[in-house]
Amino acid sequence: MQERDSPADIGLRKVVTYREEVITEAGAAPARPAHQASVAVVLANPWIGTGPAQDLSAEVQRIAPKVARLVSDRLIAALGSVEAIEAFGKAAIIGHNGELEHGSALIHTPYFGNLLREFVAGESIICFTDARADAGTTVSVPLWHKLHAATRSHYQSVTARVADAPGPDEIVVIAAASTGPRPHPRIGDRATDPTVTAQNQESISS
């Protein structure tokens, strides 16, 4: 049996989990109180010092599945169950000595995205954000429904930040999720929207 990599083997320095619940919004409790959570993992960038022609696939296949398992397990634990999770998203923050492509390698391939989706029983493409930034940079991780991406009530975001990461030679990988929609959603949905075009909107000036 193949032994699992230890945290040091995949360059893991720390894991930061954040969870919140909106109690009231606009002076009233939401009809469906939702919990949001994010899990950020801080990793050594395995491609520091390599050039733009470097093949990233070997390290992606070794590291990304373990990161997907880790963030999924922590999200499920934070929000109660796989069934409780209704919306999801992902992000990467790359330290300044790395390339944007290094973050993309860890969140945009099937070795992360397909596994995260499977672990939380999703079907939608996972919405995302990425940036090369200093330690302590705040990102808004966009979310949408894990099964029905066009469900407008679940368009929301989770704010994520790690105070001391990423260092110049690190990558922060983030997964975020919510157990429900925004507080008091009431802007309709694509299934009930009227047909809106530039032609039928008289208020649009030419």
Contact 167, 134 (CB under 8 A): no
Mean pLDDT over each residue of the chain, to the nearest integer? 93
Is a pLDDT exceeding 60 seen at residue 6?
no
Exposure string for 163-199, b = 16+ CB within 10 A, e = fewer: eebbbebbbbbbbbbbbbbbbebeeeeeeeeeeeeee
Domain spans of the chain?
A: 12-22+30-203
- In 3D space, the residue among 70, 71, 59, 93 whose CA is nearest the CA of residue 167 turns out to be 93
CB atoms within 10 A of CB 96: 13
Is a pLDDT exceeding 60 seen at residue 206?
no
Fold of 12-22+30-203: 60s Ribosomal Protein L30; Chain: A; (3.30.1330)
Q: What is the pLDDT of residue 3?
A: 41
93 token code pair: 């923050």
With tokens 């649009």, the residue in question is 204
With a pLDDT cut of 70, the percent of the chain lying above it is 94
Q: In angstroms, how far is CA 197 from the centroid of its own chain? A: 32
Q: Would you say the pTM of this structure is higher than 0.75?
A: yes
